[in-house]
């Protein structure tokens, strides 16, 4: 009997091991060495000027009055990603040239080694840039010279559960601190001068499959941060902490539990709500006048098997408007009720006014461009902005008709799971009155099957496979007054970089093959490009110091490339930040 023989072998080995069960004596060596920080072994001085001390929520609310700075994730609370800086304009942008580059590289082993990426939006305050990377890195850089002022790296475990890539989308700055979320869901408040941690708060459970990628948002005296992990059957939430002390002020779950409003949209007799997803992995926007916070919610869980969660599955794949003081949900709108395509709803909600009406514009992964009244969430209009075959949404009533669903044998649907637009953000230019969105034209096969839930393990309810060979991308400009497309610029590969609109009449964006582009905001004509040498999947920003305008863009391919550009899954990974400006002669001319 093989089993008996194995047991006997093991016993014999154990008895024999008695003979060798002794420990060799080790020589004692004198302790002569103590450790040093790697961060003390670089050219950085270790200190940044105290520019962050005066940044407050009130100042962020007036961010557009200090266009030299990029004070918050979207540049301003309204999420417009628009700057009034106009030194670089349509007439001189062709002369734009690199001012400096920052290269981080990777030392040692890294979680998600094939998919770490540089996705951040740099923050700039009075000549100092704060930017975050993969694996818990944050850097303070001189925004004029690119010189590194300090580096911080949080210890992040190799086995941290990540949906997709080891990425981070940026920091928040206020009250003399730099706030950021680590992949293992620590909210860290660093002293902006010395980079020493002031407080550290764990805000999600990595054992449950939670993680973090979003840039936190400062609102009043709070620092608000979203969670990731809806691919692991978590229960998404948004957390707010006192920005001075790190004490928790509130947590709001995006999936209601029994007895709470919205629970009627979940099965009443199962624990489906407890694995219902709805994470908050992209930074929200804020209207200080209405005192409402607008935050997108991720896919319900499991992603593709809707059979175990019949109902609309609130508040997943939608937007919630929250009272920032206590986190209570004031209204909600669901972009994709009962989402079975991983369409999420986390894309930005851009706040702007039209004909005296307070509006919210949202390009969803599901391929529809929504316009809402942001006071109450009433739909103004929903129009298609890319190929959609999963279903239809009535333009005026918003009624959703699902046309297909994932099947065990596979269902082909457009858009794919990365959406017609991934998280990289659209921009709104008050100068042109147009919205500019990156577009992914890529369909996919979705399969569905039962997945047994186990905490901390992928909970997809089967799988999705992008359909290669018929994909492209581009930037499209839309008129929010009509919902009509005004122009489109088609690219070979999907565009997964945010757009940046400026008063110079320009729209900046980047391509997955590394070209950083400047387009004419009125026509979409390409006016300038620079090859950064690595795919761009980040947030370009603009700022100025001493009268010189700069444009900055992180360049570092990775993330969930398999989902949005599978043809570029094997492209090189980079870790650089490029900053551009005009030659000084032209800067002087433009200032005159």
Contact flag: residue 10 with other proteins (CB under 8 A): yes
Nearer CB in complex with other proteins: 45/547: 45
Contact flag: residue 275 with other proteins (CB under 8 A): yes
Catalytic: 312?
Answer: no
CA distance 132 to 118: 8
- 253, 286, 363, 578: which one binds other proteins (CB under 8 A): 253
Residues 457-486 that bind other proteins (CB under 8 A): 457
Contact flag: residue 455 with other proteins (CB under 8 A): yes
Looking only at the bridges linking them, the beta strands covering 248-253 and 237-242 are antiparallel
Q: The tokens of 520 are what?
A: 């004419």
Compute the least distance from the CB of residue 228 to other proteins, in Å.
13
Nearer CB in complex with other proteins: 202/354: 202
Nearer CB in complex with other proteins: 17/396: 17
CA distance 464 to 341: 9
Compute the least distance from the CB of residue 193 to other proteins, in Å.
15
Question: Which residues, in sequence order, are CB contacts of 148 under 8 Å at separation 6+?
Answer: 42, 43, 44, 102, 139, 140, 141, 142
- 215: DSSP letter: P
Judge if the upstream peptide bond of residue 343 is cis by omega within 30 degrees of 0. Answer: no
Contact flag: residue 30 with other proteins (CB under 8 A): yes
| Of 320, 340, 540, 526, the residue nearest 424 (C-alpha) | 540
How buried is 272 (Cβ within 10 angstroms: 0-12 exposed, 13-18 middle, 19+ buried)? Answer: buried
Compute the least distance from the CB of residue 118 to other proteins, in Å.
18
Contact flag: residue 261 with other proteins (CB under 8 A): no
How buried is 454 (Cβ within 10 angstroms: 0-12 exposed, 13-18 middle, 19+ buried)? Answer: exposed
Contact flag: residue 274 with other proteins (CB under 8 A): yes
Compute the least distance from the CB of residue 437 to other proteins, in Å.
33
From 342, 355, 392, 394, the catalytic residue: 342
Nearer CB in complex with other proteins: 131/208: 208
Nearer CB in complex with other proteins: 457/481: 457
Nearer CB in complex with other proteins: 237/425: 237
E-state strands within 454-545: 462-479, 484-491, 500-502, 506-510, 515-520, 526-531, 541-545
How buried is 101 (Cβ within 10 angstroms: 0-12 exposed, 13-18 middle, 19+ buried)? Answer: middle
Contact flag: residue 592 with other proteins (CB under 8 A): no
Nearer CB in complex with other proteins: 74/250: 250
- 153, 244, 404, 522: which one binds other proteins (CB under 8 A): 153
CA distance 261 to 302: 21
Residues 158-197 that bind other proteins (CB under 8 A): 158-160, 184-186, 195-197
Residue 6's SS3 state is helix
- 91, 95, 103, 200: which one binds other proteins (CB under 8 A): 200
- 41, 355, 469, 592: which one binds other proteins (CB under 8 A): 41
CA distance 556 to 101: 13
Number of shown-chain residues binding other proteins (CB under 8 A):
70
Residues 511-570 that bind other proteins (CB under 8 A): none
Contact flag: residue 203 with other proteins (CB under 8 A): yes
- Which element (helix H / strand E) includes 58? helix 57-61
CA distance 417 to 366: 9
Residue 587's SS3 state is helix
Instruction: Please identify every residue annotated as catalytic.
Output: 342
Interface positions with other proteins (CB under 8 A): 1, 4, 6-8, 10-11, 14-15, 17-18, 21, 26-39, 41, 107-109, 151-160, 184-186, 195-197, 200, 202-208, 210, 234-235, 237, 248, 253, 257, 271, 273-275, 453-457
């Amino acid at each position: 009997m093989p089993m008996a023989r194995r047991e006997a072998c093991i016993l014999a080995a154990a008895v024999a091991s008695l003979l060798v069960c002794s420990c060799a004596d080790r020589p004692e060596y004198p302790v002569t060495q103590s450790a040093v920080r790697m961060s003390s072994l670089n050219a950085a001085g270790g200190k940044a000027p105290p520019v962050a001390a005066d940044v407050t929520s009130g100042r962020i609310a007036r961010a557009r009055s200090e266009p030299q700075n990029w004070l918050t994730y979207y540049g301003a609370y309204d999420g417009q990603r628009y700057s009034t800086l106009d030194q670089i304009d349509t007439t001189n942008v062709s002369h734009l040239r690199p001012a400096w580059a920052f290269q981080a590289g990777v030392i040692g082993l890294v979680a998600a080694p094939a998919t770490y990426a540089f996705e951040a939006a740099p923050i700039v305050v009075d000549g100092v840039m704060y930017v975050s990377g993969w694996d818990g890195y944050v850097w303070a850089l001189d925004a004029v010279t690119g010189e590194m002022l300090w580096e911080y790296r949080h210890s992040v475990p190799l086995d941290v559960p990540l949906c997709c890539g080891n990425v981070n989308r940026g920091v928040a700055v206020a009250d003399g601190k730099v706030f950021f979320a680590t992949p293992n869901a620590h909210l860290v408040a660093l002293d902006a001068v010395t980079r020493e941690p002031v407080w550290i708060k764990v805000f999600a459970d990595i054992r449950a499959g939670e993680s973090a990628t979003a840039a936190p948002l400062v609102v009043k005296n709070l620092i608000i941060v979203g969670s990731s992990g809806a691919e692991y059957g978590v229960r998404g939430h948004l957390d707010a902490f006192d920005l001075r002390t790190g004490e928790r002020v509130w947590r709001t779950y995006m999936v209601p539990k029994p007895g709470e409003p919205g629970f009627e949209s979940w099965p009443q007799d199962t624990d489906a709500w407890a694995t219902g997803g709805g994470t908050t992995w992209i930074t929200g926007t804020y209207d200080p006048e209405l005192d409402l916070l607008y935050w997108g919610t991720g896919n319900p869980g499991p992603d593709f098997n809707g059979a175990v969660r019949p109902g609309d599955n609130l508040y997943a794949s939608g937007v919630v408007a929250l009272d920032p003081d206590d986190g209570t949900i004031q209204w909600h709108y669901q972009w994709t009720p009962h989402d079975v395509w991983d369409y999420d709803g986390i894309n930005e909600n851009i706040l702007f006014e039209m004909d005296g009406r307070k509006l919210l514009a949202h390009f969803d992964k599901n391929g529809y461009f929504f316009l809402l009244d942001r006071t109450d969430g009433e739909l103004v209009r929903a129009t298609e902005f890319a190929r959609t075959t999963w279903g239809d949404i009535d333009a005026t009533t918003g009624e959703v008709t699902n046309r297909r669903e994932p099947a065990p044998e596979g269902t082909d649907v457009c858009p794919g799971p990365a959406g017609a637009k991934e998280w990289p953000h659209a921009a709104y230019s008050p100068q042109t009155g147009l919205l500019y969105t990156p577009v992914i034209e890529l369909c996919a096969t979705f399969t569905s099957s039962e997945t047994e839930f186990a905490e901390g393990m992928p909970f997809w309810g089967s799988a999705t496979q992008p359909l290669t060979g018929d994909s492209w991308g581009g930037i499209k400009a839309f008129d929010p007054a009509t919902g009509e497309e005004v122009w489109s610029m088609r690219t070979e590969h999907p565009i997964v970089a945010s757009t940046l609109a400026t008063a110079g009449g320009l729209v900046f964006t980047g391509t997955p093959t590394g070209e950083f582009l400047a387009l004419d905001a009125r026509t979409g004509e390409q006016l300038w490009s620079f090859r950064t040498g690595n795919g761009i999947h980040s947030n370009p920003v603009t700022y100025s110091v001493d009268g010189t305008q700069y444009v900055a863009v992180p360049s570092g391919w990775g993330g969930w490339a398999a989902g949005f550009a599978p043809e570029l899954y094997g492209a090189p990974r980079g870790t650089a930040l490029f900053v551009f400006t005009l030659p000084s002669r032209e800067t002087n001319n433009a200032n005159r």
